[in-house]
Chains A and B, each alone.
Chain A
Amino acid sequence: MPLTDSLRDDILASVPSLRAFAISLSGNGDRADDLVQETLLRAIANIDSFQPGSNLPAWLFTILRNLFRSDYRKRRREVEDAEGNYAKTLKTQPAQNAHLEFEEFRAALEKLPQDQREALILVGASGFSYEDAAAICGCAVGTIKSRVNRARSKLSALLYVDGAEDFGPDNTVRAVIGGNGG
């Protein structure tokens, strides 16, 4: 499909979520933006292979995910990035408690195996259907479902292992989250 202005606009509109996906995958804002840039370059260079009418965000996410994968294999997590690198990418610094909670959550997310992390993010945050997520990851829908489930249980074990029965006083997560009602 030719690179029309409206296609450019659609690509542009996907950038915020591409960045969010890249940051969630890599845990590193700078690297995430490099990934996004590379994704955009590849997407535009290969725009001919995009099927008009198909899911543009899913196509872009697939490119980004594959780039991340190959990049990741190369680097093998050379640096466990200093804490707060992710937080630096945020415009609004969360309040102190929320910040703590946030760091806790991010750390837990990073402990997930990559397959599970990406599945959880695609379905739970990016809002893709299981089918789209499966297409993005190049696996079966059932595989995505089970990865998402395992990711959820692992996160809940990491974050709330004592929590299900017994929220200790040091569990800021509970306090913060509990207070978000309206």
Chain B
Amino acid sequence: MKEVKKQGGLNAEIQSRIGHQLRAMYDDVVRQGVPDRFAELIRKLDGPEAATATQAGGDTDKNNGGN
């Protein structure tokens, strides 16, 4: 693969254009925010601890012999 000819001369102006374009492309998507489907998904999904929490629900571990 051929490398850029003026590798050393990658000037700051071009680099700043590239950076600008890259961020413009990216930020265009970021600005769309959170699509509803993802907001819903995150709201309703249970983490792994939910399963164990429901199991443990009935029998809270009281230290026995609490007189």
Binding site for B on A (CB under 8 A): 2-3, 8, 11-12, 15-17, 19-21, 23-24, 33, 36-37, 40-41, 44-48, 89-92, 101-102, 105-106, 109, 120-121, 124-126, 152-157, 159-161, 163-164, 173, 177, 180
Contacts and interface: CB of A to CB of B under 8 A. Distances in A.
B67 interface: no
A155 B16 CA distance: 12
Contact of B7 (A20, A36, A41, A153): A153
A125 B48 contact: no
Interface of B: 2-7, 9-11, 14-15, 17-35, 37-39, 41-43, 45-50
Contact of A12 (B15, B25, B42, B46): B42
Majority SS at the chain B contact face:
helix
A92 B30 CA distance: 12
Majority SS at the chain A contact face:
helix
Contacts, number: 132
B38 A36 contact: yes
A156 B9 CA distance: 11
B41 A164 contact: no
